[in-house]
């Protein structure tokens, strides 16, 4: 049996560019791709915290250290510079892989400063 699980997440990153006249995709700071384990050309889901838009695209590498989140092509209609987004990648895992499964999550502070990383989401309190 296989399960689709959250592989990686960039939580509340700020959109730095929205480029309509580009081939498509989302450019993400290359250092963040490495830290999160998201691969270039991997499918990602983007959830816009500010306007509620949810859409699918793929990741491309942005300049390392740039703090870049560039929403490109048609997706540029769904996010504007300054919007806060959650970027997620999901993957299929076997039961054996799930025994040691831990997602990689990067949490952003204002200005796209990396606040901290984690591999678990705290239990939500009622």
| Annotated catalytic residue within 25, 36, 61, 70 | 25
* Catalytic status, residue 25: yes
* Catalytic status, residue 58: yes
Strands 54-62 and 84-94: unpaired
Has 74 been labeled as part of a binding site? yes
| Annotated catalytic residue within 22, 47, 58, 90 | 58
Distance CA 98, CA 94 (A): 6
Distance CA 14, CA 71 (A): 11
Has 73 been labeled as part of a binding site? yes
- Triad 8, 12, 15: Cα angle to 5°: 105
Q: What tokens were used for 85?
A: 């987004």
* Contact (CB, 8 A) for 53 and 78: yes
Residues taking part in catalysis: 25, 58
Residues forming the annotated binding site for substrate?
Answer: 57, 73-75
Residues forming the annotated binding site?
Answer: 57, 73-75
């Amino acid at each position: 049996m296989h399960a689709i699980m959250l592989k990686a997440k960039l939580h509340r990153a700020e959109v730095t560019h929205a480029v309509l006249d580009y081939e498509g995709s989302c450019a993400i700071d290359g250092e963040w791709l490495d830290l999160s384990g998201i691969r270039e050309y991997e499918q990602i889901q983007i959830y816009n915290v500010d306007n509620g838009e949810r859409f699918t695209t793929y990741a491309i590498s942005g300049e390392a250290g740039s703090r870049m989140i560039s929403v490109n092509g048609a997706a540029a209609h769904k996010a504007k510079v300054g919007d806060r987004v959650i970027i997620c990648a999901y993957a299929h895992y076997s039961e054996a892989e799930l025994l040691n499964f831990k997602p990689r999550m990067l949490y952003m502070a204002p200005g796209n400063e990396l606040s901290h990383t984690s591999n678990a989401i705290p239990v939500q309190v009622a």
